[in-house]
Amino acid sequence: MDSQYGPGHTQSYPHLDRKTAARVRAATQREAPGYDNEPDVAFRKAAEGRLIGLRVNRYGWWVHWRELADYILPRRYKWLITPNQMSRGSPINQHILDSTGSLAARNLAAGMMMGCSDPTKKWFRYRINNIDSSVPGPVAYWLARVEWLIGLILQESNFYDALAIFYFDLVVFGTATLLIYEDYENVIVCYNPCLGEYYVDMDGQYRPNIFMREFTHTIDEAADMFGVENLSPSSAALWAQGGTSLTRELVVAHCIEPNVDGRKYGVPESFAFRECYWEWGGSASPQGGSSYSPGLLRKRGFHESPAIVGRWDLVSNDAYGRSPGMDALPDIKQLQLETKRLSQGIDKMVNPPLIADVQLKNQPASLLPGGVTYVSGMISQGKTGFAPVYTVNPQVKEMMEQLVQIQNRVKDTFYVNLFQTISQFQTRSNVTATEIDARRAEAMLMLGPVLERLNHEVFAKAHERIFGIASRAGILPPAPNEIRGAHINVQFESMIELAQMANKANSIQELMTLASQFAAVDPAMIDNMDMDKGFERIAHLKVGEPELIRGPDELQAIRANRQKQQQQAEQDAAAERANKLAAGAKNLSQAPIGGGQNALQALIGGGGGGGGVGGV
């Protein structure tokens, strides 16, 4: 029986090895009537229906994102997901004449990166109940070890590269996504779907838990990612042909959603989320689906959602966020228009159009560049042979001043003045690091509501995902018995919190210094300070490394040993003095001085004898 795609598919592939040829035949000979994987078919139909509905709901945002992309960030947006486009490398920033908006958005994205998740610093801390990694103890040591391993995973993977793109999307479009999957080489691997590709929906608690997208894959990429045996018959046949057929593109659809009623779709209910991929269309009918549904390219479950969705600001129960880019868009569009008008005015002033008498039409003239319009009667009227059509005298200075005002409004919208801290001290040379840190903390304070949303929408979910992957891979050390099964919370240390902790540590240090100064006058004053707790608190606030601080039991043992050594030293010193006195007395007793007396007797009796002699 011929397959839906016709009898033209050969079943022999001499250029392929036996196993690969069998996989191709399994795909190309698959027939629609014989495909009875009901869970896969049900999963695909449900996902397709939801994707089409989300496409309708996203239309208004889709159009708005197009404007934002045109004027700020054109390379992070796709208008239509169409395969086999030959114009992808064409210029995409034709609307941008003044790049102030793009540069300001880049500055804000970089500031968010360094202020919230600085790769060079420790920006997160794990906590179990009231114990974190900054206090001494076995639980804290385990938490510190886990933090180090998670930080190493973030550094060795492409997490920070993807997060930088995430911030850029967030500040321009108001919505950004990050996909986190397991990776054999680097534990995790991250991807950044761009705007126009994906759709977001929320659950009953307004959490963005539903993620769908459509994107292009070449035939070779699809076969490598999903296996050629899972491709549709036509795609598998193209892959088997090889050559240029491998570069043909198709549209792949992707769905991640909570695993509700998972048994219906063949996903174990032990997983909290489920995912599937399917072929959504080809070059002939992109995004149109196919009449034959062979099922899914891939289906699997996850304990944590691999899709991390962040929004800058929200209005009511919108699935997509608002952004500084949306606020700055009117000023950016005005800036482009006025930049164009200023350039036109300068061009007409420098190279104005001309008029000339018609008698000079065939006469040589060195007037290039510039157009000439020939009119009659100019010479007879006593006018010069050539003259400007009109005099253009644009107010360049005033226009430049207005452009600067618009540029400043755009920069203020993107918080540029908050993040370019050091450049604001160009006229001062006595700026301290403390002052710079305080100004940076002030900048992050202005973004407090955004940071709170990112903490629970993005960072907490990302750490939950990465921690789960690392734990299942056996990378993390065994937890102490007393905390096994306990819930681990994540505390994020942004620049604001670090500055507050540093200020608190400095206050404690100043108090301890003051107590020491008072103790120089009255030693009893030092009894008011618990120096051990003060030092431990400063170490916690400034360093946060529990391995550097000894625990109470170890500290008590060291001090008891030191006290014992001091007591032994005092006893040894007393015994040595007693031995020296005994040896001196012996020497004196053996030293005769005449009259039947020795020196010791004379010394002992010297007090009475001396008095008698003095009396005589």
The verdict on residue 571 lying in a domain is yes
Give pLDDT tens digits for 178-192.
999 999 999 999 999
Give pLDDT tens digits for 508-521.
888 888 878 877 88
The verdict on residue 248 lying in a domain is no
Instruction: Indicate the Cα dihedral angle 558, 559, 564, 566, nearest 10°.
Output: 120
Yes or no: say if 189 and 154 are a contact pair by the CB < 8 Å rule: no
User: Is the confidence at residue 75, as pLDDT, over 80?
Assistant: yes
User: Is the confidence at residue 397, as pLDDT, over 90?
Assistant: no
User: Is the confidence at residue 534, as pLDDT, over 90?
Assistant: no
The verdict on residue 347 lying in a domain is yes
Look over the chain and give the mean of its residue pLDDT values, rounded to a whole number. Answer: 80
pLDDT > 70 fraction of the chain, expressed in percent and rounded: 76
Which of 180, 212, 256, 189 has the alpha carbon at shortest distance from 462? 180
User: Is the confidence at residue 87, as pLDDT, over 90?
Assistant: no
Enumerate residues 6+ apart whose C-beta is below 8 A from 114: 495
Distance of alpha carbon 116 from alpha carbon 96, whole angstroms: 30
Strand-pair category, 354-357 with 372-375 = parallel
Mean pLDDT of the 486-492 span: 87
The verdict on residue 557 lying in a domain is yes
Domain region containing 336: 329-352+396-413
The verdict on residue 264 lying in a domain is no
Q: Is 300 helix (H, G, I), strand (E, B) or coil?
A: strand
Residue 321's pLDDT is what?
Answer: 94
Give pLDDT tens digits for 94-134.
889 999 999 999 999 998 898 888 898 888 989 888 787 77
**Cα separation values, 407 from 401, 419, 423, Å:** 10, 16, 17
Instruction: Report how many helices (DSSP H) and strands (DSSP E) the chain contains, helices first.
Output: 18, 16
Strand ranges (E), 130-197: 131-132, 175-183, 187-191
The verdict on residue 583 lying in a domain is yes
Query: Domains in the chain: how many in total?
Result: 2
Instruction: Indicate the Cα dihedral angle 301, 305, 308, 314, nearest 10°.
Output: 120
The verdict on residue 401 lying in a domain is yes
User: Is the confidence at residue 311, as pLDDT, over 90?
Assistant: yes
Instruction: Indicate the Cα dihedral angle 237, 238, 239, 240, nearest 10°.
Output: 50
User: Is the confidence at residue 58, as pLDDT, over 60?
Assistant: yes
Give pLDDT tens digits for 407-420.
999 999 998 877 76
Q: Please name every residue paired with 126 in a beta bridge, in sequence order, or none if there are none.
A: 490
In Å, the largest CA–CA distance within the chain is 159
The verdict on residue 187 lying in a domain is no
Mean pLDDT lowest among 268-272, 341-345, 512-516: 512-516
Which of 124-138, 336-350, 466-480, 586-600 is modeled with the greatest confidence? 466-480
Enumerate residues 6+ apart whose C-beta is below 8 A from 82: 216, 251, 286
Mean pLDDT of the 266-276 span: 94
